[in-house]
Structure 1
Amino acid sequence: MGKHFVSLGMFIIDQFQFLAADGTETGQSQDPQVGTLFRSTPCIHLEIGGGGTYAAIGARIWLPAHEIGMIVDRGNDFPEDVQRQLDAYGSEMWHFRDNANRGTTRAVNIYRGEHRGFNYLTPRIRLTPVDLEDVPSLARPDTIHFICSPSRAADILAEADNIQGWTPTTLYEPIPDRCVPEELPALQKILSRIDILSPNAEEALSLLSIPLPPTPHTIQEAARRFLDMGIGPSSRGIVVIRCGAMGAFFEGHDTPGKWIPAFWDEATTGHVVDVTGAGNGFLGGLAAGLFLSRKIDEAILYATVSASFVVEQLGLPKVDTTDPNNNLWNGDSPRRRLEELRRRVGL
């Protein structure tokens, strides 16, 4: 039996560095609420990262490990702590490709005052559908998630089209630094092949040359404009715009536009430690929710709960599998949060 959800995003070891507004070291390590993976210096903190990893964990919050998949390129410097943490989520999730001649992909998240930067420290190893075909357990999943520029998305979709008998649900997350007006024509060329398009609010407005900051009105305008461009096979696509503390807005050709609030909103900011990976985790939760409920409004609730666990610490949330029928994440039940959110929105 094939996987339900596979991400083509990368696995990365993330480094977090905290600087003052003038660029000097603060000495801050910002311990996450749920514990650390490992530490190097007082102002540098290391965690498992990568958009694909967060998406896979967002799905794992709802689905058993054997229904989720991702390729992890394991270099010659792969820490034992990282291996143990990945295995704790379920070893069936991960397919490790070993390379003794190179290191694991690494990146740095630099927090300078109120601003955040992101830079790769090593070359990236990009994944495509052909890579999945080389791994029988990952070949031809029901849903694929990819994070990239529109032009690279076109290449991914072309590869997928060339794999006979495979028509996956496509979940596309535009990469932030390519969400600029110049990329809109390339995006328009592929929208008919995208089932779910999900930029965040700033990315959506930037692509469409709509002035910032985001407002409910401009976000809804952006969703409608993407739909008018012909998203989805036979116009069945969905636009989901992720808006942080504002929640998420979604709309489809046959799905009226609707807002779903964030689980941790502006009144509960004490629960939000770091938003790195929240959007990726949201989309993994969305794919899982669609599989379990078959309804987009319900799936957005699953996605919102997944994101709520991601933002509670630096790095990935912790799982407790003591009860195989009720895994706890960060010591709480995803089902409990789902029911609470369902009551809030009246679903």
Structure 2
Amino acid sequence: MAEDKRYLVTLGMFIIDEFTYFNEDGTPTGKASSSQIGGGGTYASIGARIWLPPDQVGMIVDRGHDFPPEIQSQLDSYGESMWLYRDDRSRGTTRAENVYRGEVRGFRYLNPRLRITPNDLSGTSFEKPTCLHFICSPSRASAILSEVRPVEGWNPVTIYEPIPDRCIPEELPALIAVLPEISILSPNADEALSLLSIPGTPTCALIEQACQRLLDLGVGPDGSGTVIIRSGHLGAYVKSRTKEGWWVPAYWGEENKAKVVDVTGAGNAFLGGLAAGLYFKKEDVFEAVLYATISAAYTIEQEGLPNLSRTSNGEEYWNGEDPKERLKQLRSRMNI
């Protein structure tokens, strides 16, 4: 199936997210509860789709008996070929509850989740993608890679996003065990500091320290991998053994707080955008972080996924703007 090969496939799940909002004291804020498309894989796919045509991106979507037609229409509007639908009428679509108390988010699944593994890609048009993205615990990352290794002719760029609730010091040994098979490791700043037992609120200095320590643990074959620490309004810090560390500023920083509506999925979209950047920049991770930054910016401008529109001549705009123009603006800000 070489002719159908996707550049990026994510093993992240599709989830229907339910949102409820309370003040810090538990009083309802008055903001209406809502449902929207969710799941780290979904946001990663759209982060890549901002730059890539739909036939270069792939994700499995498990549909239950309650799969809403309006969600189906929204997904297909991004490109029907992006999605491989699996139907099981005996169960409901995976749903999760997101409860906000002030700025603190609680998360729990409302029904059993269906995990996706590399074996699920076999025999489909998603088989053997160039880049493989996954969001999970370190032990599950090892299980995923155990399914990649035996596949002849497949040596993907592995983009690993540790799941937030497993970014704890107790998971560090399992992470160290899997790091030699990881091309790009990308926790966020809080997760990186927690994994390494580094106390304090994330600062640029602490983030740089954490990045170096993770690299020293041996990311990639022979330590050839890259660490990217996603750091919210501070931007993203990227470093490898062969290149000095580099800060890429957030597209919407502290001076543009009003542009930030909902950060849900921003980190996932960042890594989808990163894969797209690797496609255009011949796997130069440092350059790819610029694309990632733009994808994250589009994600945080509204609740839910960014909006895709097309001009009469087929040009695509996201939230009414051209991603290529945003990329030029970011480069201008960085004087590169």
- For residue 33 of structure 2, what is the aligned residue in structure 1? 44
- For residue 321 of structure 1, what is the aligned residue in structure 2? 310
For 1:111, what is the secondary structure of its paired residue?
strand
- For residue 61 of structure 1, what is the aligned residue in structure 2? 50
Deviations 1:54-78 (A, max 9, x none): 0000000000000000000001000
After TM superposition, the structure 1 = structure 2 runs for residues 41-190 of structure 1, keeping only pairs within 5 Å, are 43-134=32-123, 136-190=124-178
Q: Distance in 1 between matches of 2:55 and 2:116?
A: 20
After TM superposition, the structure 1 stretch with the greater mean CA deviation from structure 2, 114-123 or 237-246, is 114-123
Q: CA deviation at 1:25?
A: 2.1
2:177 partner amino acid:
K
- For residue 290 of structure 1, what is the aligned residue in structure 2? 278
User: Is 1:13 the counterpart of 2:19 in the alignment?
Assistant: no
Please report the RMSD computed on the Cα atoms of aligned residues, expressed in angstroms.
1.0
Deviations 1:313-345 (A, max 9, x none): 111001013356531001111011000001111
Q: Distance in 1 between matches of 2:174 and 2:100?
A: 32
Matched residue count: 332
Q: CA deviation at 1:166?
A: 0.7
For 1:255, what is the secondary structure of its paired residue?
coil
1:262 to 245, 250, 266: 250
User: Is 1:225 the counterpart of 2:228 in the alignment?
Assistant: no
Contact 1:61 1:334 in 2 (8 A): yes
Q: TM-score under structure 1 normalisation?
A: 0.94
Q: CA deviation at 1:230?
A: 1.0
Stretches of structure 2 that go unaligned for 5 or more consecutive residues are none
1:26 to 25, 29, 35: 29
- For residue 33 of structure 1, what is the aligned residue in structure 2? none
For 1:102, what is the secondary structure of its paired residue?
coil
Q: CA deviation at 1:245?
A: 0.4
Q: CA deviation at 1:297?
A: 2.1
Q: CA deviation at 1:293?
A: 1.0
Q: CA deviation at 1:165?
A: 1.4
Q: Distance in 1 between matches of 2:293 and 2:185?
A: 16
Q: Sequence identity, in percent?
A: 56
Q: Distance in 1 between matches of 2:256 and 2:6?
A: 36
Q: CA deviation at 1:236?
A: 1.4
Q: Distance in 2 between matches of 1:324 and 1:193?
A: 43
| Cα distance, 1:324–1:211 mapped onto 2, change above 3 Å | farther
After TM superposition, the structure 1 stretch with the greater mean CA deviation from structure 2, 290-299 or 122-131, is 290-299
Deviations 1:116-151 (A, max 9, x none): 1111111111111000114x2111100000000000
Q: TM-score under structure 2 normalisation?
A: 0.97
- For residue 198 of structure 2, what is the aligned residue in structure 1? 210
After TM superposition, the structure 1 = structure 2 runs for residues 307-346 of structure 1, keeping only pairs within 5 Å, are 307-322=296-311, 326-346=315-335
After TM superposition, the structure 1 stretch with the greater mean CA deviation from structure 2, 291-300 or 91-100, is 291-300
Q: Distance in 1 between matches of 2:87 and 2:246?
A: 44
For 2:180, what is the secondary structure of its paired residue?
helix
Q: Distance in 1 between matches of 2:24 and 2:285?
A: 42
- For residue 37 of structure 1, what is the aligned residue in structure 2? none
Contact 1:251 1:257 in 2 (8 A): yes
Deviations 1:183-206 (A, max 9, x none): 000000011100000000000000
1:304 partner amino acid:
T
| Cα distance, 1:324–1:212 mapped onto 2, change above 3 Å | farther
Contact 1:202 1:212 in 2 (8 A): no
Q: Distance in 2 between matches of 1:323 and 1:226?
A: 48
- For residue 230 of structure 2, what is the aligned residue in structure 1? 242
